[in-house]
Amino acid sequence: MSQVLSLELSDEVYAALQQQAEVAGVSLAELVATSIEQQYGSLRREKSQTETEKEASRQRFRSHAGSINLGYATGADNQSIDADLLKAYSDTSEETN
């Protein structure tokens, strides 16, 4: 099913779209229709996605969590943080003396 839509565009917008259509080798109407379908077609695809497909997408996304390796452990306990701060401040004070 398709619908007809009339648009009123400024001369500047019309000229810019006309130029893009000429470069692409398509009609102005085809350029505008394709652009709108590309922008809003993704909404249709998202709605039609099954729960299984959504879960598979979530799992692919989650697989990236923790994938960066800093080369050393990053403890989140206070003692480890305090020791790192003490070391950093001690090294700095020795350099300034």
Give the residue, 43 or 60, on which the prediction is more confident.
Answer: 60
DSSP, res 8 = -
User: How many percent of the chain have pLDDT more than 70?
Assistant: 74
- Number of domains comprising the chain: 1
Q: Is 36 exposed, middle or buried (0-12, 13-18, 19+ CB in 10 A)?
A: exposed
Contacts of 18 (CB under 8 A, 6+ apart): 28
The verdict on residue 50 lying in a domain is yes
Residue 19 lies in a domain: yes
Instruction: Specify if 51 maps to a domain.
Output: yes
- Look at residue 95 and tell me if it is in a domain: no
**pLDDT of amino acid 14:** 92
Whether 33 maps to a domain, the answer reads: yes
In a domain? residue 4: no
User: Two tokens at 49?
Assistant: 């996605």
Taking the C-alpha atoms of 58, 60, 61 and 63 in order, what is their torsion angle to the nearest 10 degrees?
120
Domain hosting residue 41, numbered range: 9-62
Is residue 16 included in any domain, yes or no? Answer: yes
Q: Whole-model pTM?
A: 0.42
Average pLDDT over residues 51-61: 84
